């Protein structure tokens, strides 16, 4: 499984002191900074853009800007975001009819490519071809467009399914993630954690970042061990449920772990 990365969401920062806030998070141990760009069309709000990213990039050395593009025309902004210092470009699958072309242009611009799915979009919308092309999949755990929303726990089966299908791919969660909800995200297999208010508004953001990281690392060890056991034929409770039960039938708890989607090898 890929390394854990904590990406505080800048939308929850003091935007009037943006450079300082970004540097503060880097000093507190953040791996990435999650930059929300909204166009007023795909979502109602308008937030940030390439000129602001460029200012941050110049002011905060070695920053990795994880750019979440909540825009209706993802192709339109690729070159501008790359020129402004964006390192990763996440577009919404709901905003394009040709996600592979969007990925191609993102990578041609020198950025990591990531695709996001909204709470109402099933994980099955991510084809194997698309997953192979991208560097990361973002599962929204709130509806995009505003910070401070309540975590949607019903999105966790999607995270678990994607982790089982793509064990070496970055899987990101964004929305309502905090110390109180991190265990659900971690147990489902998320390794890139976007947290806004929980980090920026805490008096000890470094401790919050460390806690989020530790929870994910501990869960990753469990998930890795379970996967290895399942694939070598050991009995693991709940393994392969997707092959024997109707999706999301039975106890809800069973479907929020990657083991439910990993098929044991066929008996000889």
Q: Specify binding-site residues for substrate.
A: 9, 68, 145-148, 176, 196-197
Would you say how long the chain is, in residues?
268
Which residues participate in the annotated binding site? 9, 34, 36, 68, 145-148, 174, 176, 196-197
CB 106 within 8 A of CB 89: yes
| 174 is annotated as an active-site residue | yes
Q: Closest Cα partner for 50 from 15, 79, 17, 23?
A: 79
Looking at 31, 36, 39, 66, which residue is catalytic? 36
Q: Closest Cα partner for 140 from 32, 210, 43, 214?
A: 43
Q: In 118-267, which ranges are E strands?
A: 136-140, 170-174, 192-195
| 206 is annotated as an active-site residue | no
Which residues participate in the annotated binding site for a divalent metal cation? 34, 36, 68, 174
Looking at 39, 135, 174, 187, which residue is catalytic? 174
Bridge partners of residue 88, in order along the sequence: 66, 112
The phi-psi region of residue 40 (left if phi > 0; otherwise alpha if psi is between -120 and 50; otherwise beta) is left
Strands 46-47 and 33-39: antiparallel
How many CA atoms lie less than 13 Å away from 54 in the CB half-sphere?
A: 9
Mind telling me the catalytic residues? 36, 174
């Amino acid at each position: 499984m890929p390394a854990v990365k904590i990406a505080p969401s800048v939308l929850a920062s003091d935007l009037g002191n943006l450079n300082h806030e970004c540097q503060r998070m880097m000093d507190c141990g953040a791996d990435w900074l999650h930059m929300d760009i909204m166009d007023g069309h795909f979502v109602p709000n308008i937030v940030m853009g390439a000129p602001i990213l460029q200012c941050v990039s110049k002011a905060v050395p070695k920053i990795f800007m994880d750019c979440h593009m909540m825009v209706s025309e993802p192709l339109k902004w690729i070159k501008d975001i790359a020129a402004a210092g964006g390192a990763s470009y996440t577009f919404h699958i709901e905003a394009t009819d040709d996600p592979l072309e969007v990925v191609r242009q993102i990578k041609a611009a020198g950025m990591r490519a990531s695709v996001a799915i909204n709470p109402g979009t099933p994980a099955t919308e991510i084809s194997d071809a698309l997953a192979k092309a991208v560097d990361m999949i973002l599962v929204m755990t709130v509806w995009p467009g505003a910070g401070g929303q309540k975590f949607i726990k019903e999105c966790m089966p999607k995270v678990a399914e994607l982790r089982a299908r793509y064990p070496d791919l970055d899987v990101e969660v964004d929305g309502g993630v905090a110390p109180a909800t991190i265990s659900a995200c971690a147990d489902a297999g998320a390794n890139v954690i976007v947290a806004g208010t929980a980090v920026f508004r805490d008096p000890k953001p470094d401790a919050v970042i460390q806690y989020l990281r530790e929870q994910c690392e501990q869960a990753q060890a469990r998930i890795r061990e379970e996967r290895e056991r399942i694939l070598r034929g050991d009995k693991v409770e709940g393994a392969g449920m997707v092959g024997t039960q109707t999706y999301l039938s039975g106890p809800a708890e069973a479907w929020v772990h990657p083991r439910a989607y990993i098929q044991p090898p066929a008996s000889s």
